[in-house]
Amino acid sequence: MKTAAALHILVKTEAEAKALKDKIEKGADFATLAKKHSMCPSKKQGGDLGEFRKGAMVKPFDQAVFTKDSDEKSVIGPVKTRFGYHLIRVLYTS
């Protein structure tokens, strides 16, 4: 079964997610922004979700992680789920 590890930032609005993505693309630290802005308890770890299996996350999140070809520098999103809007940095998939 496929596994991945990722960081994420969860916010209420798409506009907030886009603004944070712009900051990251201009050099802001993903983990620092996660600690400050994310609504997820993972914010205490800089948005680190650890390792998870395909199918463990809500479908839109899972699809974004496992179907995108990304490197550690790129940020996926905003990805809308029932929880809000996510920015995702995939650390690895295997």
Q: Give residue-wise pLDDT tens across range 29-69.
A: 999 999 999 999 999 999 999 999 999 999 999 999 998 66
| CA-wise closest residue to 37 among 13, 70, 73, 6 | 13
Determine which helix (DSSP H) or strand (DSSP E) holds 6, and give its type and residue range: strand 3-11
pTM of the model: 0.93
Tally of domains within the chain:
1
Q: Are β-strands 76-81 and 84-93 bridged in parallel, bridged antiparallel, or unpaired? A: antiparallel
The CATH number of the domain where 44 resides is what? 3.10.50.40
Determine which helix (DSSP H) or strand (DSSP E) holds 52, and give its type and residue range: strand 48-53
pLDDT of residue 38: 98
Tell me the residue range of the domain where 75 lies: 3-93
Under the banding of pLDDT at 50, 70 and 90, the label for residue 1 is: confident
Contact 87, 20 (CB under 8 A): yes
CA distance 22 to 67: 23
Q: What's the rounded mean pLDDT across residues 67-94? A: 87
